[in-house]
Amino acid sequence: MYTESLVKLGKVRSEIREIFEYGNQRKAQIGADKVFDFSIGNPSVPAPQSVDDAIIDLVEHFDSVALHGYTSAQGDAAVRNAIAEYTNQRFHTTLTGNHIYMTCGAAASLTIVLNAVLQKDDECIVFTPYFPEYGVFMERTGAKLVEVQSEQGTFQIDFQNLDAAVNEKTKAVIINSPNNPSGVVYTEEKLKQLAAFLEDKQKAYGHPIFLITDEPYRELVYDDTKVPYMICLYDNTFVCYSYSKALSLPGERIGYIAVSPKMTQFEDAYAAVCGSGRALGYVCASSMYQRVIEKCIADTSDISIYKRNRDLLYQALTEMGYECVYPDGAFYLFVRTFGQDAHVFCEKAKEYELLLVPADSFGTPGYVRVSYCVQTKQIEDALPAFRALAENYR
Amino acid sequence: MYTESLVKLGKVRSEIREIFEYGNQRKAQIGADKVFDFSIGNPSVPAPQSVDDAIIDLVEHFDSVALHGYTSAQGDAAVRNAIAEYTNQRFHTTLTGNHIYMTCGAAASLTIVLNAVLQKDDECIVFTPYFPEYGVFMERTGAKLVEVQSEQGTFQIDFQNLDAAVNEKTKAVIINSPNNPSGVVYTEEKLKQLAAFLEDKQKAYGHPIFLITDEPYRELVYDDTKVPYMICLYDNTFVCYSYSKALSLPGERIGYIAVSPKMTQFEDAYAAVCGSGRALGYVCASSMYQRVIEKCIADTSDISIYKRNRDLLYQALTEMGYECVYPDGAFYLFVRTFGQDAHVFCEKAKEYELLLVPADSFGTPGYVRVSYCVQTKQIEDALPAFRALAENYR
């Protein structure tokens, strides 16, 4: 009667949301400051003042009919040009507004690209740990998601595993660096190796293999970490960018797709993106938020707060004996569980009022995700609980 | 290489946009006040002051992290409750927030519902004239769009034609009242007849036939025209609502789906909507605009301007000998062409600097759409051109 696969998707309870709801109940029982919720990946730092200023300026001074009116489906031309120019300055690319397609955030960017390039029985490779919604975003294509295990411990790309997984059906590869949930940033060396590997495979199979980069965390990197821009390294790249984390606007749904100027049959690629957006019901990204982006193009929220949280949490947990992946970016700490079963570990953690997310659904059993996009005080207050949890396993 | 059907969709030039672009060129040549562009369906009346006030109030006084943070996928609970209560007051329904799913506008509402209920080889009925994007919104489902010709002249539902089109594959029917492009509002009598007809067919075929109402123009009705609320008349109704026209916010993409509380297997229906939204890449509707809607729930733009335009244009054109469908709603006048071919007629109209849209792509050859969401002065200035065009055909 209803589309069965979609009914099923709609009924799956999100594990993260269930933990979050448990946390809210528990806070009501024992007090908010006694529960240490590290489950949700919602930015805890407010949008920069420039975003508020831009909104108010637009509402007060921009013609209302134009401000809130339709833009073209690919987005306002001035906004797209501004993004292209800014990207060219940062990464020495040769983008124009005609390579950019504005979207309702990274989820929309990914779904539009996946529908544009994947057909029934194609395969799309993802590296563990990976955001489980990738499988959902390709549901309408009939293609198959193929997991490739990353290098143990570092969670960089394991090329032996990748080589074993690629075959003539491989149509696309998704990378997510900085990574949710591990915080790992791929090194330039590894990414160059990936580009060379995919070039070889394209030749071997005689068709393009598209690289899709999921980049909501690009700006959230610490110290002098560099996040290479894949359009510079590999021609068949679609960049799926979002301002959700960079500007703390996850609920406003604003981002874009950058289609590499050197993409195979570029015109068809860009047309497929436009057609995909139409077929998925996207008319345009929010016309007002497009213009907010234009005004705030080089801004970010105060990332230093996440860095402070990372340093505090990483240092404290490793000192307590936790095995943590060192996160160069994003706002997650990826922690090996004591004992094999992450669900058992997370239940035990609840006894200490610590709410953590088992990473099984990310394709990496034996790990938990600790979101440090929280108030720094919550981390400080939670340290004795983390210590007690570790001691419980001694 | 790329998904062929989507490449094709992405390459189709929109006829309306081409006319609009021609208009812009022509204005540059001979002056903006000399070109009478009636091609675009973009609200010409600004959003009400209450929308601006709501945005500024939210930015200045609502916590930034919460304002711009994710809402649940189905939308903020308080917003959904407010919409349910307001709808109950207006239409004596028994909705709660759990029957509402917030969307990025009517296109998203429709695409989500169509994917939720249509599977490969199902058929979905539309009545001429109809918005041609309906076919695009069902592209990913593999279902077939079936056109049913409406009553000549009135463009009300023709039940003989409908009966001839319905068969056991019929899974859904879309209605759009007030209608784009005819401005026709279905009478309560016709809608009750439709409900009874569909009830019969459901029994005959032993499966639900879903009624999908596309309602962006619900608030744009004139004089004492009533737009019956289909959830009151037919249990298996999905209402696809949008604030694009009511609040002049088409670029912001905000609307909702109301799933009838009496829908067959309601829980599965609502789950299919949620799953469909996820699979199409929608995470949530704009969190800020959801809250704007809550604050402006009973407001509209100044609709009286459209009524003034309608009265002026309808009266003048009928006096000149044009055969026009009397529009009770929306902001379009549907005009029979002199001569059979609407494209030829529109080319002739261009000689008088009148930019009109041939209605062939809406499934009704021999008609043009005249959008009167323009400055009233444009209509006044254009009347001599309309007169000269008519005289040309004498």
The DSSP element (H or E) to which A171 belongs, if any, is strand A170-175
Does B46 lie at the interface with A, CB-CB under 8 angstroms?
yes
Chain A residue numbers touching B39 (CB-CB < 8 A): none
Place of tokens 């570990």: A345
CB A300, CB A46: distance < 8 Å:
no
Whether B70 and A42 lie within 8 Å, measured CB to CB: yes
Measured between CB atoms, which of A6, A64, A141 is closest to B272?
Answer: A6
pLDDT of residue A306: 97
Distance CA A53, CA A49 (A): 6
Query: Whole-angstrom Cα distance, residue A330 to residue A37?
Result: 18
Is it true that the peptide bond before B261 is cis, omega within 30 degrees of 0?
Answer: no
From first to last of its 394 residues, chain B has per-residue pLDDT tens of 999 999 999 998 778 888 988 998 999 999 999 999 999 888 999 999 999 999 999 999 999 999 999 999 999 999 999 999 999 999 999 999 999 999 999 999 999 999 999 999 999 999 999 999 999 999 999 999 999 999 998 999 999 999 999 999 999 999 999 999 999 999 999 999 999 999 999 999 999 999 999 999 999 999 999 999 999 999 999 999 999 999 999 999 999 999 999 999 999 999 999 999 999 999 999 999 999 999 999 999 999 999 999 999 999 999 999 999 999 999 999 999 998 899 999 999 999 999 999 999 999 999 999 999 999 999 999 999 999 999 999 8
Q: Which of residues 143-182 of B touch A (CB under 8 A)?
A: none
Q: Are A335 and A318 in contact (CB under 8 A)?
A: no
Strand-pair partners of A367: A336
SS3 A51: helix
A115 touches chain B (CB under 8 A): yes
Q: Where are the alpha helices (DSSP H) in chain B?
A: 4-11, 15-30, 49-61, 64-67, 77-91, 105-117, 133-137, 159-165, 188-205, 266-279, 287-295, 304-319, 342-350, 376-392
Helix H or strand E segment including B125 = strand B123-127
CA–CA dist B26, A47 (Å, integer): 43
Q: Please give the Cα distance from A56 to A34 (Å, whole number).
A: 38
Contact residues on chain B for A1, CB-CB shorter than 8 A: 117, 207-208, 264-265, 268
Instruction: Quote the tokens at residue A36.
Output: 């240490």
Q: CA nearest B249: which of B83, B67, B105, B127? A: B105
**Token reading at A238:** 């679609």
Assess B125–A contact: CB distance below 8 Å, yes or no. no
**Mutate which: B3, B45, B102, B210, vs A, most A CBs within 10 A:** B3
Q: Write out the two tokens for A199.
A: 């070039």
d(CA A117, CA A264): 12
Spatial contact of A310 and A328, defined as CB atoms under 8 Å apart: no
In angstroms, the CA B384 to CA A35 distance is 74
Query: Is residue A14's pLDDT more than 90?
Result: no
Strand order in the sheet with A367-371: A324-325, A332-336, A367-371, A357-358
CA distance A183 to B267: 37
Cis peptide bond upstream of A181, omega within 30: yes
* Any A CB within 8 A of B202 CB: no
Q: Which of A183, A187, A186 has its CA nearest to residue A174?
A: A186
Q: Is A22 helix (H, G, I), strand (E, B) or coil?
A: helix
User: What is the spatial distance between Cα B292 and Cα B54, in angstroms, rounded to a whole number?
Assistant: 6
Nearest CA in chain A to B4: A272
- Do B124 and B146 form a contact (C-beta atoms < 8 A)? yes
B123 and B100 Cβ atoms separated by less than 8 Å? no
Residue B357 is predicted with a pLDDT of 95
The dihedrals phi and psi of A259, each to the nearest 5 degrees, come to -95, 125
Report helix, strand or coil for B363. Answer: coil
List of chain A residues whose C-beta atoms are within 8 Å of the C-beta of residue B273: 10
Q: What is the pLDDT of residues A133-172, one digit of tens each?
A: 999 999 999 999 999 999 998 999 999 999 999 999 999 9
Q: Is residue A81 very low, low, confident or very high in pLDDT (cuts 50, 70, 90)? A: very high
Rounded distance between C-alpha atoms, residue B74 and residue B285, angstroms? 8
Q: Report CB contact under 8 Å: A111, B281.
A: yes
**pLDDT over 90 at A41, yes or no:** no
